[in-house]
Amino acid sequence: MKNPIKSKLLTFVAMAGLLKTAAGQSVEVKLAASTTYVSHLGNEDKSAKVSDLAVGNRVGIHATPKGETLEANEVKFSAPSSSAAAAKPRP
């Protein structure tokens, strides 16, 4: 069963991301070699890669539980607003 998560990317280390949901909950999601990435800009979705992710991005993730962890199947993301992006450096 896939779990959708809508959140903001707080940190990104190796192949995992720590997310903060709208409810304030922190969730760690593992990224796999099979994870697909989609960048959303305006009304358009484009294929992306993990290196396109940045701290502060708004993300929507479809993940599958794998034991005690969640593994991302798809990560759809968009950049934060211009003012937020200027205040947050890329990792």
Domains in the chain: ranges and CATH: 3-81 (2.40.50.140)
- pLDDT score recorded for residue 86: 45
Average pLDDT of 30-37? Answer: 92
Identify whether the C-beta of residue 68 lies closer than 8 Å to the C-beta of residue 12. Answer: no
What would you measure as the largest C-alpha separation in the chain, in angstroms? 39
Among 7-11, 18-22, 23-27, 35-39, the range scoring the smallest mean pLDDT is: 7-11
How far apart CA 79 and CA 88 sit, in angstroms, is 11
88: left (phi over 0), alpha (psi -120 to 50) or beta: beta
Residue 41's contacts (CB-CB under 8 Å, 6 or more residues apart) are 78, 79
- pLDDT score recorded for residue 87: 45
- pLDDT score recorded for residue 5: 61
**Helices (H), strands (E): how many in the chain?**
1, 6
pLDDT tens digit sequence for 9-21:
655 555 777 787 8
pLDDT at 22 over 90: no
